[in-house]
Structure 1
Amino acid sequence: MKKTIWAPVCISAAILFAACGGGEEKKTEEKSEETPVVVDDSMVAPTAGKGKELIAAQDCKTCHQEDAKLIGPSYNEIAAKYENNDENIATLAGKVIKGGAGNWGEIPMAPHPAIPEEDAKEMVKYILSVGK
């Protein structure tokens, strides 16, 4: 009699298990890896975004404004004085990091040694692109 009770229960469990998808391996779709799009922006003017954001995160506006002289020259004056080329970008980035004096009067520019060189270059690229 025990066998008669367990047989329908086991069969029902097996049917329920099969109906719910138990025991089947689920196939996952493999996503094909797409080749990333590489954009050559070497001929594009530097974007204001990164350099402008980096400047906003520093204390630059204490001494500089885009179009008016404060303690130091305006970005427009700097852009007018220096040609936008790799040599000037490197020189001016060095002045941002190390500070400097004598190019714009007697008031020295404070050094910013915590700014990484690449960030300083992005900042200078933005400054040299202002007003042009």
Structure 2
Amino acid sequence: MALAATATLMAAPAHANPDLAKAKNCMACHAAATRLVGPSFKDIAARYKGQKDAEALLATKVLKGGAGVWAPIPMPANPQVSDAEAKTLVKWILAQK
């Protein structure tokens, strides 16, 4: 029974929260409400609020990196993050208020 429960949890999609952001090293440069090396998650959500393509655009940036949007310091690609995790993280980021 315990093995079945563990297998179910491992097969479930990642639920974005600060723990996933920490696990994928997002928190090394970003924080929920204050700017670190990069913008806060709250500022990212505010900038992209209502933008139809925001999820796809930001998921691509999480995966491949980007530069020049917030400051001259580039955001490196994050090879630790899967496509599904990037989408989950971005949905969580865009929900920040």
- Give the C-alpha shift of residue 54 in structure 1: 2.1
TM value normalised by structure 2 = 0.78
Deviation per CA, 1:89-110: give whole Å up to 9, x if none.
0110000000000100100001
Whether 1:76 aligns to 2:42 is: yes
What's the RMSD between the two structures over aligned residues? 1.6
Q: Is the 1:84–1:129 Cα contact (8 Å) retained in structure 2?
A: no
Identity fraction in percent: 41
TM value normalised by structure 1 = 0.58
Deviation per CA, 1:46-69: give whole Å up to 9, x if none.
xxx811132121111110000000
Whether 1:100 aligns to 2:35 is: no
Q: Structure 2 counterpart of 1:122, which letter?
A: T
In structure 1, what is the Cα distance between the partners aligned to 2:27 and 2:33? Answer: 12
Structure 1 unaligned regions, length at least 5: 1-48
Counting only pairs closer than 5 Å after superposition, residues 1-132 of structure 1 correspond to structure 2 as: 50-52=15-17, 53-83=19-49, 87-131=53-97
Shift >2 Å, 4+ stretches? 83-86
Structure 2 unaligned regions, length at least 5: 1-13
Across the two proteins, how many residue pairs are aligned to each other? 83
